[in-house]
A and B are shown apart, each in its own frame.
Chain A
Amino acid sequence: MDRGMRIIRRALATCMLVGAVAAQAQIPRTADGKPDISGIWQAVGTAHWDLQDHSPQPPALYQMGAVGAVPGGRGVVEGNTIPYQPWAAEKRQQNFANRLAEDPEIKCYMPGIPRATYLPFPFQIVQTQRDIFFAYEFANADRKVNMGAPTEYPYGTWMGWSNGRWEGDTLVVDVTGLNGMSWLDRAGNFTSENTHVVERYTPLDKDHLRYDVTIEDSTLFTRPWKISLPLYRRIDAGAELVEFRCVEFAERLLYGELEKKPAGAK
Chain B
Amino acid sequence: MTRRFVFSLATIALGVTVALGTLDTAAQQRRSTGAASFVAPKTPWGDPDIQGLWPSGDWRRVPLQRPENLGTRSELTPEEFEERERQAATDSAADAAEFATEATTATINNSPPSYWQDRGSAKLQASLIVDPPNGRLPARVPQVEQRVAARAAARQGRGPSDSWEDRSLYERCITRGITSFLPTLYNNGNEILQSPGYVVIRHEMINETRIVPITDRPFSTIKTYMGEARGRWEGNTLVVETTNFLTDKAAISGTPTSDKLRLIERFTRIDAHTLRYELTVDDRDTWVQPWKVSFDLGEDPNYPLIEYACHEGNYAMSNILRAARVAEAAGQPKP
Residues of A that sit less than 8 Å from B by CB: 30-32, 38, 108-110, 124, 126-129, 131, 133, 135, 139-144, 149-154, 157-159, 163, 181, 238, 240-243, 245, 247-248, 251, 254-255, 258-260
Contacts and interface: CB of A to CB of B under 8 A. Distances in A.
B99 interface: no
B44 A135 contact: no
B207 A142 contact: yes
A142 B196 CA distance: 19
A44 to B, nearest CB: 22
Nearest to A246: B311
A242 B193 contact: no
Contacts of A141: 207
Nearest to A238: B217
Contacts of A139: 311
B208 A38 contact: no
A178 to B, nearest CB: 11
Given A133-B193, A245-B174, A247-B174, A259 B163 contact: yes
Nearest to A141: B207
B70 to A, nearest CB: 39
A29 to B, nearest CB: 11
Nearest to B310: A247
Contacts of A259: 162-164, 321
A126 B312 contact: no
Interface of B: 1, 3-7, 43-45, 51, 159, 162-165, 172-175, 193-196, 198, 200, 202, 207-209, 211, 213, 217, 222, 224-226, 305-307, 309, 311-312, 317-318, 321-322, 324-325, 328
A144 B202 CA distance: 11
A140 B200 CA distance: 13
A184 B45 CA distance: 38
Contacts of A254: 317-318
Given A109-B311, A258-B322, A240 B5 contact: no
B225 A243 contact: yes
B273 to A, nearest CB: 17
Contacts of A133: 193, 200
Contact of A255 (B207, B306, B312, B317): B317
B162 A128 contact: no
Contact of B312 (A109, A129, A150): A109
Given A126-B193, A142-B209, A152 B225 contact: no
Contact of A158 (B5, B213, B307): B307
Main secondary structure of the interface of A (DSSP, over half): loop
Given A128-B195, A158-B312, 19 more contacts: A31-B44, A109-B311, A110-B312, A126-B211, A128-B194, A135-B209, A139-B311, A140-B209, A142-B209, A151-B5, A152-B3, A152-B5, A158-B309, A243-B224, A245-B224, A248-B172, A248-B174, A254-B317, A255-B163
Contact of A243 (B202, B226, B328): B226
B217 A154 contact: no
5 contacts: A109-B311, A150-B3, A247-B173, A251-B164, A259-B164
B155 to A, nearest CB: 13
Given A142-B207, A255-B318, A129 B224 contact: no
B269 to A, nearest CB: 15
A126 B45 CA distance: 14
B321 A258 contact: yes
B225 to A, nearest CB: 6
B219 to A, nearest CB: 11
A203 B51 CA distance: 26
A260 B328 contact: yes
Nearest to B321: A258
A200 to B, nearest CB: 17
A149 B1 CA distance: 10
B159 A149 contact: no
Q: Which 5 residue pairs of A and B lie closest in terms of their CB atoms, listed nearest first?
A: A258-B321, A243-B224, A151-B6, A260-B162, A31-B44
B222 A242 contact: yes
Contacts of A129: 43-44
